[in-house]
Amino acid sequence: MVGALVGVGWLVLPVMTAGDGDPVPVSPAVPAASAAAPHQDETSATDLVLPLAVLGAAGALAGYGYLRRTRRARTRTTPGVVSAAPPVPTSRETERQARAALVLADDCARGSEEELSFAQELFGAAAVEPFAHALRAARTELSAAFAIWRRYEEGVPGDEGARRQALVGVIGRCAEAGRRLDAEAAELDRLRGLEQGVGEALEVAERRFRELTARTAAAQATAAGLHERYAPSAGTPVTGYVEQAKDRLVFATSQLNDARQAADSGDGARAARHLRAAEGGVIQAGVLVGGVERLAAELREAAGLVPTALTGGEAEIAEARKDGGRTPLATGELHARLAHADGVLAAVRAELIGGPYDPLDALRRIARAVERLEVGRSGVVEAAALLVARSAVGGAQDFVAVHRGAVGAHARARLAQAVRALGSGAGRDAEADVLAGQARELAERDVRVHGNPYAETAGHAAGLSGAVLGGILLTEEPDAGPPVSFGGPETRGRRRLR
């Protein structure tokens, strides 16, 4: 601006000083240097060249400065004048945040439940009730968040703005679930007092470890018996569970030893850290062994129920064939479904006398064939459907629990919906069965994609890979990270290396 003013002044100066009224004293006359020099009484054009050049340069500099200031304001990273409104995240970014929030909140609830089981064994149910209440409240928030997410996945609501609000609701519910757990973490630490001494807690963990070691040996024999007694598909849900249980126990052994050594040396914080990691390994070994034991019991129950379910199914088919039966189906559709049901029951009867078969799958096919007739189900068929659904949901829950380090939001949301359907008491057994199957399939896919970033090498602790995959450790430090403790996002990883 200063340069521009100088240039303008220079331009008008000759004009203002031109004429006869010049107040400056005139020097005495001297001989002319050249007779040819003309007398100029007006401003010469050459006098304007330099002022114009200055003015142009000043304008160019002003324009350059303006462009620099504009570009700097747009890319500013230091405090300054910025828009009062924060940038609005895109729909894709909000959806990603909602998925991450669901996984984190679910992990916090699962990890909190694991530690709470050890505290309850040592101090009793009454002493841990405040923490159990916080966990129930967190699970209520989480269940609501999963329900909103599932409706979002199904396209409800349809309006873009409402869908964004639904995602914000999911994130908010998850945050509240985490806050509930964070609020009680310090008090649980005071109750357990691990940093002051792990003696009694270590004894509880070691006792569970010894019990699980014996159960794991028995579960190995049980799993082998499933393959001998039933069709291969019957034992598929627990394939590899015994080996994984052994891996978790190896990890627990290492951590228990480290905890005792740290306690003996007076390092309470490190002893507490290793004890929590050992407790996580023991819990997950128990889930894996329990999965084998439960499936064996369910298959035995199913095998005893199949003949009765066949009889009940035939009764329902006969009812549907009667004139004026209770089914609302059109005649042609009813005949097609009756033919299908007859075929299913005939195939199951052939399997009963044909060698090893899958009793749970047989019950599933009977229940679904009868359900398609829409005449209601007899008590025995209803019991068969419930047993199948319980088995599917339990198997999916176990799988997610011991692989949660890799399982994403979609599988967890299906599982949460399956749990709600099973617990509704409204005859939604078939829905729960289907949803649990979808959850298991999605979870297995997530695990395959995740792979094994912590292969067992000389630089890694024994069982570290399984501990990371199971979400026992948080993978934030050279030795994989702190163990999961009771709490939400702010407190669950508080036992970090110092």
Domains of the chain: 90-192+485-498 (1.20.140), 197-451 (no CATH)
Per-residue pLDDT, 79:
47
CB 381 within 8 A of CB 345: no
What's 474's DSSP letter?
-
What whole-number distance in Å separates Cα of residue 427 and Cα of residue 458? Answer: 53
**Mean pLDDT, rounded, for 67-92:** 58
What's 157's DSSP letter?
S
Per-residue pLDDT, 479:
65
Instruction: Provide the residue type at 293 as one letter.
Output: E
pLDDT tens, residue by residue, 135-184: 999 999 999 999 999 999 999 998 999 999 999 999 999 999 999 999 99
What whole-number distance in Å separates Cα of residue 424 and Cα of residue 419? Answer: 9
CB 368 within 8 A of CB 313: no
pLDDT exceeds cutoff 70 at 8: no
pLDDT exceeds cutoff 90 at 30: no
Give alpha helix (H) positions in 18-90.
49-74
Residue 98: name the closest of 155, 145, 160 by CA: 145
What whole-number distance in Å separates Cα of residue 370 and Cα of residue 326? Answer: 13
DSSP SS3 for 483? strand
Per-residue pLDDT, 290:
98
pLDDT tens, residue by residue, 302-357: 999 999 999 999 999 998 888 555 678 888 899 999 999 999 999 999 999 999 99
Q: What's the chain's Rg over C-alpha atoms?
A: 39
What whole-number distance in Å separates Cα of residue 255 and Cα of residue 192? Answer: 18
281 CB burial (10 A radius; 0-12, 13-18, 19+): buried
Contacts of 454 (CB under 8 A, 6+ apart): 460, 464, 465, 468, 475, 480
Residue 461 zone, left/alpha/beta (φ > 0; ψ -120 to 50; rest) = beta
Is pTM beyond 0.85? Reply is: no
DSSP SS3 for 473? strand
What whole-number distance in Å separates Cα of residue 372 and Cα of residue 416? Answer: 25
DSSP SS3 for 282? helix
Per-residue pLDDT, 29:
40
Placement of tokens 């003996």 in the chain: 264
